[in-house]
Amino acid sequence: IKDIHTSRLVAQHNASEVIQVQLTLGKTAIQIVACYRSPTMPQDSHYTFLNILENIKIEPNTLILGDFNYPAINWENYSCTNSFAQRFLEFINSNTLDQLIHTPTRGNNILDLV
């Protein structure tokens, strides 16, 4: 890829990492946001992680992917069993994002998202 417009490490600490890359392919701008959230993330770090995601401007050609480790989310009906996962689902829904992985990525859970 010749035309990497910008890339930046949005956030990184011991429990998560968010990297944002903006590409231009021909006349099309694409934003890629790659994330990792530790399954043992402390509660205060969880809120920081979600705040970081909520502050990223989601453009029409945005791809968010990574290892989010939310086993409490049922991706078939977009429901969950805890408040952390619920806030993440609210982020997904408010930005009209879709989960494209439909088979388990670890055990019986879909932890990786695209």
- How would residue 30 be classed by pLDDT, with cut points 50, 70 and 90? confident
pLDDT (tens digit, 9 = 90+) per residue, 47-86? 888 888 999 888 889 999 999 888 888 888 889 988 889 9
Give yes or no for residue 92 having a pLDDT over 60. yes
Q: Are 15 and 45 in contact (CB under 8 A)?
A: yes
pTM for the full predicted model? 0.81
Measured distance CA(69)–CA(40) in Å, rounded: 9
Q: Are 101 and 112 in contact (CB under 8 A)?
A: yes
Identify the pLDDT of residue 113: 67
List, as one string, the DSSP characters of 50-85. HHHHHTS---TTEEEEEE---TTEETTTTEESSHHH
